[in-house]
Amino acid sequence: MMTLSPSSESTTHLGHYGLIAGVFDELDISDLIDTLLPKKSGHNIPHSTVIKAMCINGLGFTERRLYLFPNFFENLPTERLLGEGVLPEHLNDDVFGRTLDKIYEHGATELFNYIILQAMKHVPINPRFCHTDTTNFSVYGDYENDDGKTINITYGHPKDKRVDLLRFSISMVTDQKGIPLFVRALDGNSSDKKALIKTIKELTQNLNLDERVYHVADSAFYTEDNVKEIGTNAFFISRAPATINEAKELLIADLILKTCSDERYSCYSTKSCYGGVEQLWVVFCSEEMKKKEEKTFEEKIIKELEAAEKSLKKLSNREFACEADARMAAEQWLKENESYEFTKLDIKTKSHRLENKKGRPRKDEEVQTFYMIEAEIKHDREKVQERRAKLGRFILATNDLELTPDQLLEYYKEQGTVERGFRFLKDKSFRVSEVYLKKESRIEALAMVMVLCLLLYSIAEWKLRTRLEEAKEAIRNQVKKKTQTPTMKWVFFLFRRITELVIEIDGKRIKKVLNLDEETIKVLKLMGEKYEKYYM
C-alpha cells in the first residue's frame, strides 16, 4: 500500500506579476523611494519593496480586497518578484500600514511628483495636453477628522450614487496617452471649481512643461475667477457652461454652422473676453448628441411641466394682502419659469374672521380680505423651439487664438483619457479602490498608490503598443484576431497560466518558469530585459 509523503516539488503563481515588477524597475524609482522614505533598522524590507508589492497587489485583478493584502502573496514567488529573502510572511498588515504612514509623513503628492520626474528620465513622457479632472470614492466606517491636517472624510456629491457613505476625492492629471502626471487627495466635499485651478497651478510648478502644453478641463473649471487666474500664463481648453449668460444667448442664436473635418460636427467661431481674457469660443453641434437628446427631450418637457404645475399650486395656496402683491408674485413666478406662459390668471378674494375665530362670519361682522392667485399654464412654444434648436450644441473655449475649430475639438475630445483613468481606478476588479482603512492619513497615502498603479499600467500598455507597431508585430485579442493595440489587462490574462516550479535536489533548490508560450515570449522580448528577467 502506497503512503503519502511531502512533495519535494512546489509551484507558485507568477502570471503577469513579472510585467508589473518589470515596469516598476524600468522607471528606476526604488532607490529614489528609499532615499525619500528611509527605513528604520527594525524593518525587514525597505519601503520601495513594500510599495512595489502594493502595486503588484493593486494590479492583480484578483477580486481581493485590500484588507486581504497578506493572503494575496501566499501563493506568489515573492523572492523572484521582490528580491531574495522577501517572503510572504514579511508582507503583513503592520509593514503595509507603516509604509502608508511614511508616505503620508513625506507627503503623498510630493512623493508622486518625484516619481514622475524620475520616470520622465527613462520613459519619453512628453505631455502636449494635461487633462485635469476630479472624482470621489466611497469609504466604509466612521471618521472624525478634527486635526485640520489630513483630508476631511465626509459626505459629498456621490458619483457612485452611494449617498449613505462618506467619501474622499482625488484630483488627477493625465497626459494625452493617459499616463498620470499628478495626484492629490481632497476632502469628500471639495469644490471642483477651486480644485481644478489649484491642480493646474501645482502641476505647472512641479513639472517643467513646454510652453505649448494645453490644460484641458471640463466646464467645472470654467469660471470667471479661474479664467482670470490662468490668464495668459498658460493655454487652456474648456467647455463653457451654458449657465453663463453670454453662452446661453450664443447657444440659442440663429447661427450659420459650417461642417467640420469630422462630418459628425458643425461649428461657428466667435471671440469672447469672458473674465477679461481674450478667447476663441466655438459653438459645436454634434449630430450624434442631438439624436440622443431628441429621444428624451419630449419626456423631459412633460416632467418639467409637472414640476412647474406643482410649484404654481404651492403659489396658489399663498394669501396676499392686496391684489397688486398677488399679481406681482405671479409675474415673478413667470420670470423665474420663463419656459411657460399663463393660459389663465385670476386673482380671487378670500375672507377670514378676525382674531382667528372659526366658522362663517355673522352678518355685518368685520372680516379681513386676502387675495389668492388662480392660474393655469402651458409651455411657451417659442421657448421650447429655442431649446430644441440648441440640442446637441456645446461651446469650447480657449485662450489660444491660433487654434482652428478642428484642432480645438480634437484636443478637447482627448479629455476622455483622464476619465478612462478614473474608470480604471473604480473598476470592480481593481479592488484597491475599495477603501477599508480607518485613518485619514493612510487614505491620502493609498490614493497616491492607486494612481501609481495606473502609472505603471498605462506606461506598460503604451510601451507594448509602441513596440508592436515598430516591429510590425501583433498579438491575438479576445476574439482571436491580430491587434497592435491590446489592453494591458488582456495581456495580463494571456500570462495567467505561468507558474514558478521549485524542485529540491540534494538539498539544492532549483527554480524554473513553466507554461511560457510563443505569444507570451513575444510580449516579453518586445518589452525588454527588465521584464524578461522575471521569467528566466
Joined together, the cell numbers standing for residue 324 give 397688486
Q: What amino acid is encoded at 336 in this protein?
A: E
Beta carbons within 8 Å of 460's beta carbon, 6+ residues apart: 19, 20, 22, 23, 488, 527
The answer on pLDDT for 529 being more than 70 is: yes
The number of angstroms, rounded, from the C-alpha of 470 to the middle of its chain's C-alpha atoms is: 31
Q: What is the mean pLDDT of residues 448-453?
A: 93
pLDDT class of 402 with cuts at 50, 70, 90: very high
C-alpha cell recorded at residue 471: 516591429
HSE (CB half, 13 Å, CA atoms) of 327? 5
Which range has the worst mean pLDDT, 1-10, 412-421, 436-445?
Answer: 1-10
Query: Would you give the end-to-end CA distance of the chain in angstroms?
Result: 40
What is d(CA 182, CA 132) in angstroms, rounded to the nearest whole number?
9
Residue 380: other Cβ atoms inside 10 A: 15
Neighbours of 363 (CB within 10 A): 5
pLDDT of residue 408: 96
Every domain of the chain and the residues it spans: 8-108+441-533, 122-291+395-436, 297-387
Nearest CA to 190 among 171, 205, 174, 172? 171
Which pLDDT band holds residue 174 (cuts at 50, 70, 90)? very high
Give the tens place of pLDDT for each residue, 357-374: 666 666 667 777 889 999
* Helices and strands of the chain, counted as H and E runs: 19, 16
- Helix, coil or strand: residue 284: strand
* 455/180 Cα distance (integer angstroms): 6
138, 146 contact by CB (below 8 A):
no
At residue 62, the pLDDT reads 54
φ, ψ (nearest 5 deg) of residue 440: -60, -35
At residue 67, the pLDDT reads 47
Specify the pLDDT at position 108: 95
Place of cell 480586497: 65
Buried b (16+ CB within 10 A) or exposed e, 255-294: beeeebeeeebbbbeeebebbebebbbbbbbbeebbeebe
Is the distance from CB of 119 to CB of 406 less than 8 angstroms? Answer: no
Beta carbons of 414 and 213 less than 8 angstroms apart: no
Angstrom distance (rounded) from CA 524 to CA 464: 9
* Whole-number Å distance between alpha carbons of 169 and 138: 9
Which residue type does 447 have?
A
pLDDT, greater one: 240 or 301: 240
Helix (H) or strand (E) holding 351: strand 340-353
> Cell digits for 96?
503595509
**d(C-alpha 287, C-alpha 265), whole Å:** 6
What is the distance between the alpha carbons of residues 2 and 351, in angstroms, rounded to a whole number? 105
Architecture of domain 122-291+395-436: Alpha-Beta Complex (3.90)
Gap between the Cα atoms of 248 and 241, Å rounded: 8
pLDDT band at residue 210 using 50, 70 and 90 as cut-offs: low
Backbone angles phi, psi at 427, to 5 degrees: -60, 135
pLDDT at 363: 67
The string of pLDDT tens digits covering residues 114-173 is: 999 999 999 988 889 999 999 888 777 666 665 667 888 888 777 667 777 788 888 999
Q: Three cell numbers at 345? A: 390668471
> Residue 154's CB: how many other CB atoms inside 10 A?
14
Q: Which of 181-185, 285-289, 327-331, 389-393 has the lowest mean pLDDT?
A: 389-393
DSSP string, 150-178: S---B----SSS-TTSEEEEEEEEE-TTS
What does DSSP say about strands 235-240 and 214-217: parallel, antiparallel, or unpaired?
parallel
**Closest to 527 (Cα-Cα) out of 499, 486, 482, 498:** 486
Task: Report d(CA 66, CA 97) in Å as an integer.
Answer: 11
Measured distance CA(313)–CA(376) in Å, rounded: 9
Average pLDDT score over residue span 43-59: 90
Average pLDDT over residues 36-43: 78
What confidence score (pLDDT) does residue 5 get?
Answer: 57
pLDDT at position 433 is: 46
Quick one: cell of 327?
399679481
Q: Whole-number mean pLDDT of the chain? A: 87
The percent of residues above 90 in pLDDT, for the chain, comes to: 55
What is the structure's pLDDT at 285? 93
> Is the distance from CB of 529 to CB of 519 less than 8 angstroms?
no
Distance CA 227, CA 490 (A): 41
Task: Please give the radius of gyration of the chain, using alpha carbons only, rounded to the nearest integer.
Answer: 31
CA-based angle 468:472:474, to the nearest 5? 55
- Model confidence at 208, pLDDT cuts 50, 70, 90, reads confident
Which tops the pLDDT comparison, 31 or 39?
31
Tell me the average pLDDT across 242-256. 89
